Structure 1
Amino acid sequence: MPDTASATDAPDASAVTGRSITLDGVTKRFRGQQAPAVDSITLEIPAGQVVMLVGPSGCGKTTTLKMINRLVEPTAGRILLGGEDVTDIDGDRLRRRIGYVIQAGGLFPHMSVAANVALVPKMLHWDAERIEQRVNELLELVSLDPDIYRDRYPRELSGGQQQRIGVARALAADPPVLLMDEPFGAVDPITRQRLQDELIGIQHELNKTIVIVTHDFDEAVKLGDRIAILDEGARVVQYDTPERILSDPADEFVEDFIGSGAGLKQLSLRRVRDVELIEAITVTPDVPSVDALARAREAGHDHVVVLDRNRRPVAWPSLRELERLPQLPSRPRADLPLVGTGAPLNDALDTMLVTSVGGALATSDRGQFAGVIDVETVMRAITEVREQSVPDPDAPIGTNTSDMPAVTKVDDDDD
């Protein structure tokens, strides 16, 4: 393994494996309720993009999500999946083609991790060898070692691990569409950030079509290619990119929903991958600690990064720690400051502020080490963003200087 690792350009995105979703005048009326829960929503979701549905409680966003896979049957309108009307498809068959993730993963407590992940492939009559291979592949994808976790039960997992298994199960049969209903709402903030980072990495690799319901606008900005802000009855108030919604909200409702600090939220649009990461000395756990110490001193570094066989960070000991360690750690430390390269710089800064190192380890797809990011790098980037966001004093008030037209309905080939 080389002595140093540095940031590299992100790998080319894989081919889009998702399918477009079209909601055409979709309405849902529940018996006994005068007003419709969803009132004639029309929305086009491009293949391979992440679309966030946000809005106040009771606005119909979860009902809209559930109508896509017909957990809730629409009263009127059409729902097209890649041009195919879902009402013409058997409901059970349809749901096997669409991944679905809820809070806490929705795992079956009496089934092992492997059995939970294998549920849909077994329904599709995959052979045992193919199922075992797929389970192992997906556990690796969500950063869980199959040798350690496949035979465990949900009660033996943390909340974050259960949520990872829920995502793995939803992806088991390689569906083109993934629906997620408040997927990270039941975990602590640090775990939520890491799960969001992992989802960004998974999507960068797989390019599914993902629709996520959330009440957290910051989460919508972080994860979404596009955000649909809904009012009562799932009325689409604005459907656009995070950049456009923050810089040019459609009306006062959107402004109120965004809340104060829209300028600060714009800073979250700058990602870890947009800045130059710092090289680090990397070693594997089998390297003697005295050798790791010698390498770091020779290179003039204060720390080394210990990586496992998959190049995932395990530890980040300082020279002083290396002097005391009889051998390097082989299991990941719980307090390791990690941030995904797809994460916003705000998240990176938050991660650094709870450590004494003044930096964080950036990880790319599948949690592989990409480089080190420090406070100085983030502050320089934030300063650049602030300078770039200063409005032109000569521009007329109310003028939208963006070259991108406002978006209320988009086509699959719209960039």
Structure 2
Amino acid sequence: MSETEIPSNGGRAAGAGILLEDVTKRFPGQEKPAVGGLTMEIPQGSIVMLVGPSGCGKTTTLKMINRLIEPTSGRIILNGEDVTGIDGDQLRRGIGYVIQAGGLFPHMTVAANIAVVPKMLNWDKERIRSRVDELLELVSLDPALYRDRYPKELSGGQQQRVGVARALAADPPVLLMDEPFGAVDPITRQRLQDELLHIQSELHKTIVCVTHDFDEAVKLGDWIAIFDEGAQLVQYDSPERILASPANEFVENFIGSGAGLKQLTLTRVNEVDLVMPVTASVGDLTSDTLSRLQGAGEQNAVVLDERGRPIQWLSRRQLSRLDRHTDAVDPRLPVIGNQATLNDALDTMLVSSTGAALVTGPRESFLGMVTVQTVMEAITAANDAAQQGSSSAPVGINSGMIQRAGDPVPVQDVAGTGAPQ
């Protein structure tokens, strides 16, 4: 590997492990460092959420990984190789970067925006076109409809999806995200979060994400790093253990009230058993659907389009008024992704007249139905599992202290120098 290449698995790049080793950043004119002596292990293929109050150094930490901000001292190790000495531009071409509101170039089409890095890497036109279409499909945007549009013709959520596609264009092992969903409405934010989890389930990248939203950190993160001023790592652990055992009063205050309710975000819909209702396809006779509903003892049927996506949820009374199923889409359909949390599911159920929600998977394909009873049973199971603990947390160090699972101990009490064990 040349000195200007970032690590890659060749073909489809898997996530890369990252280690910030005794990293410090001092800005001119500031008495205290923005980041002080941080050593932090980011496990390969995981989502690590950086949270903390404004000005605590989490965005500075993020930007030092791809050296948009150069560290004053310390090393950044990517997949076992120190990248602090290689060309910064070359490094950044191999690390995906997503900012708030997408950061798209307004004078370029969606396809041209996504193709920026592949063009820099001298990909041929056919490979670029194929990759653009593949990524638009991945973020649930029809290439035929969106490839030639400009950013101003997209909604905020669509722009953010394109921003994610652009960050993934050259298949980087690492994806950095700086408040990626902070500029969209709550409903769109939930959908974008679900989409990111779907993408991660397929690609297994290493994702580092800055957020001010602790609920978002719990929903998305495999691990959560809570920073205080100067990027002092107060607690670095799984969402389950942070909610169950906050390291100190600072963490308790940051989590805020309602920690019990936040437990609902610890279990995702894909972890519970779904109920399969009666389904029908566009063009089917409604009389056939009514017969199947009667035989199953059910009151409602889900209508699927030609791609297996739910578009209607009709009662027996509604079906009796029709001859065949149409392709009309009900915009009020209570749909959630299978990567959504139980908290999301309950929110969706509250506005559903059926007291349940329809669940979709990758490419919005229909998977089944989740009910209130299913959620309540899963909550009980999740609480039991949380009491049994989980795997060891990654290592985080500041100023001569090392932290595992929310319990600071002196570095000298750990074998070696505090590097990941």
Coarse TM-score class (shorter-chain normalised): 0.7 to 0.9
Question: How far apart are residue 295 of structure 1 and its match?
Answer: 3.9
Question: Using the alignment, how far apart are the partners of 2:17 and 2:187 within structure 1?
Answer: 32
1:257 equivalent in alignment to 2:244: no
Alpha carbons of structure 1 residues 309 and 88: separation in structure 2 relative to 1, 3 Å: farther
Match of 2:124 among 124, 127, 135: 127
Tell me whether 348-357 or 198-207 shows the greater mean CA deviation: 348-357
Structure 2 match to 1:98: 95
Question: How far apart are residue 116 of structure 1 and its match?
Answer: 1.3
Alpha carbons of structure 1 residues 284 and 253: separation in structure 2 relative to 1, 3 Å: same
Which secondary structure does the structure 1 equivalent of 2:320 belong to?
A: helix
Structure 2 match to 1:5: none
Question: Using the alignment, how far apart are the partners of 2:148 and 2:419 within structure 1?
Answer: 41
Say what the alpha-carbon RMSD is for the aligned residues. Answer: 2.5
Tell me whether 136-145 or 359-368 shows the greater mean CA deviation: 359-368
Question: Using the alignment, how far apart are the partners of 2:249 and 2:16 within structure 1?
Answer: 33
Is the Cα–Cα contact under 8 Å of residues 22 and 37 in structure 2 kept in the other structure?
A: yes
Question: Using the alignment, how far apart are the partners of 1:329 and 1:162 within structure 2?
Answer: 31
Question: Using the alignment, how far apart are the partners of 2:141 and 2:274 within structure 1?
Answer: 26
Question: Using the alignment, how far apart are the partners of 1:321 and 1:260 within structure 2?
Answer: 43
Which secondary structure does the structure 2 equivalent of 1:245 belong to?
A: helix
1:118 equivalent in alignment to 2:105: no
Question: How far apart are residue 291 of structure 1 and its match?
Answer: 4.3
Question: Using the alignment, how far apart are the partners of 2:215 and 2:232 within structure 1?
Answer: 21
Give the counterpart letter for 1:151 in structure 2.
D
Structure 1 match to 2:337: 340
Alpha carbons of structure 1 residues 390 and 270: separation in structure 2 relative to 1, 3 Å: closer
Question: How far apart are residue 348 of structure 1 and its match?
Answer: 0.4
Is the Cα–Cα contact under 8 Å of residues 43 and 394 in structure 2 kept in the other structure?
A: no
Which secondary structure does the structure 2 equivalent of 1:244 belong to?
A: helix
Structure 2 match to 1:322: 319
Match of 2:376 among 376, 379, 382: 379
Question: Using the alignment, how far apart are the partners of 1:348 and 1:80 within structure 2?
Answer: 39
Alpha carbons of structure 1 residues 177 and 389: separation in structure 2 relative to 1, 3 Å: closer
Structure 2 match to 1:56: 53
Question: Using the alignment, how far apart are the partners of 1:30 and 1:332 within structure 2?
Answer: 54
Question: Using the alignment, how far apart are the partners of 2:420 and 2:361 within structure 1?
Answer: 27
- Could you state the TM-score of these two structures normalised by the residue count of structure 1? 0.87
1:313 equivalent in alignment to 2:310: yes
Question: How far apart are residue 190 of structure 1 and its match?
Answer: 1.1
Structure 2 match to 1:72: 69
Structure 1 residues 242-301: Cα deviation after superposition (integer angstroms, max 9, x where no partner):
111111211111111111222222232122122211112233324344544444444333
Question: How far apart are residue 86 of structure 1 and its match?
Answer: 1.9
Structure 2 match to 1:34: 31
Give the alignment of 1:4-403 within 5 angstroms: 17-325=14-322, 328-330=325-327, 332-385=329-382, 388=384, 402=389
Which secondary structure does the structure 2 equivalent of 1:43 belong to?
A: strand
Is the Cα–Cα contact under 8 Å of residues 52 and 58 in structure 2 kept in the other structure?
A: yes
Question: Using the alignment, how far apart are the partners of 1:160 and 1:265 within structure 2?
Answer: 25
Question: Using the alignment, how far apart are the partners of 1:170 and 1:329 within structure 2?
Answer: 38
Give the counterpart letter for 1:312 in structure 2.
R
Give the counterpart letter for 2:36 in structure 1.
D
Structure with larger RCO (C-alpha < 8 A, sep 6+): 1
Alpha carbons of structure 1 residues 327 and 118: separation in structure 2 relative to 1, 3 Å: farther
Give the counterpart letter for 1:210 in structure 2.
I
Question: How far apart are residue 306 of structure 1 and its match?
Answer: 2.6
Which secondary structure does the structure 2 equivalent of 1:195 belong to?
A: helix
Q: Gaps (5+ residues) in structure 2?
A: 1-11, 397-403, 405-417
Q: What is the aligned-residue identity percentage? A: 65
Is the Cα–Cα contact under 8 Å of residues 174 and 207 in structure 2 kept in the other structure?
A: yes
Is the Cα–Cα contact under 8 Å of residues 34 and 60 in structure 2 kept in the other structure?
A: yes
Question: Using the alignment, how far apart are the partners of 2:109 and 2:419 within structure 1?
Answer: 39
Question: How far apart are residue 333 of structure 1 and its match?
Answer: 3.7
Question: How far apart are residue 334 of structure 1 and its match?
Answer: 3.0
Q: Gaps (5+ residues) in structure 1?
A: 1-14, 392-400
